[in-house]
Amino acid sequence: MVTLKKSLGSIVANLVTIFISLLVLIPMVVLLLNSFKTQGESNKMSLSLPKEWVFANYKTVIEQGKLVSSFFNSLLYATCSVLIIVIVVAAAAFVIARNRKGINNFIYYFILSGIAIPINNVALMKVLQALDLVNTRLGIILVYAAINIPLSLFLSYGFISTIPREIDEAAVIDGCGPIKLFVSIILPLLKPIISTLFVLNFMAVWNDFTMPLYYLNNSAKWPMTLAVYNFFGAFENSWNLVSADIILTLLPVLIIFILGQKYIVGGVAAGSVKG
């Protein structure tokens, strides 16, 4: 009797799990199927297989949706801004975590206030104009770096505090200066938090669409999200094409996610458990 109850419980638990996974998967499967249908058939969304498989949808989307150039733009913006974030944040967090007195303490709270600061697009536009960065790739990369620095600093500060200071002392006795200490001793120890920062910020930048909406008016510089958004506006009645477009935008992120799953999930978890 007890074993029956137990196995019944495990069947129910498995069914619930499968149901929830389906709840997440079905929208994506519907889109995938839709992306191979004709326009008429795709207007009624369903889980049925396409009557005829229209692979040409993808060709149309790649040609009309500017997907190749926007893909490389997204890649460029995400990679460069993340590199900047990782370098400046690691250095800053190291110094602040080790010596949180006087000016450093002020700098820490000053940058952390950025977690709450609203992005005021008109004011930011004025600053970018003054710096001659409007509508440039460098401008958008720096903006992404700036708005993601506060939270990244917060996360790395927590991590560096867990590295014992005795390591620094030993390095100093061996004759390390501050730069050598940081680059050759501390930086290698920061690998876990750097991969977390890399992944979290990469995703944030890759998925953002408001910044280019305001600061890039040249469609040759658009990232993928904005290209999709415009494509959606132009082809709102061709759900097959829109679906194909969305699938192609999702693909790179999902591939990165599946490959880097360990770091993403691990990073998310470590970041929050450590605080």
Partner 1 sequence: MDRKKLYPWYFTSGALLIFFLLCFLPGIIGILYSFTDWNNFTDKINFVGFKNYVEVLKGKPEYRAYLWNTVLFTTVTTIMKTVVGLALALLLTQKVIKLKNFHRMVIFSPQVMSYLVVGLVFKSMLHPDTGFVNNFLKSVGLDIFAMNWLTDLKIVFATVMSVDTWKGMGYIMVVIIAGLMSISPDYYEAANIDGANFWQKFRLITLPLLKPIIINATILNVTYGFRVFDMIYSLTNGGPGNATGVINTAVYKEFSKGNYAMGTTLSSILFFALLLLVYFIIKSMENKEVDA
Of 62 and 252, the one with the shorter C-beta distance to partner 1 is 252
| Interactions with partner 1, residue window 146-185 (CB under 8 A) | 146-147, 149-150, 153, 158, 168-169, 172, 178, 181-182
Secondary structure class of 119 (helix, strand, coil): coil
| Contact flag: residue 227 with partner 1 (CB under 8 A) | no
Q: Binding mask 109-128 vs partner 1 (x if CB under 8 A, - otherwise)?
A: xxxxxxxxxxxxxxxx-xxx
Stretch that binds partner 1, among 55-63, 64-72, 187-195, 238-246 (CB under 8 A): 238-246
Binding residues with partner 1: total (CB under 8 A): 102
Q: Which of 9, 184, 217, 219 touches partner 1 by CB under 8 A? A: 9
Q: How far is the CB of 107 from partner 1 (least distance, A)?
A: 5
Min dist CB 72 to partner 1, Å, is: 17
Among 187, 192, 232, 263, binds partner 1 (CB under 8 A): 232
Q: Establish if 24 lies at the interface with partner 1 (CB under 8 A).
A: yes
x-marked contacts with partner 1 along 62-101 as a string, rule CB under 8 A = ----------------------x--xxx-xx-xxx-xx-x
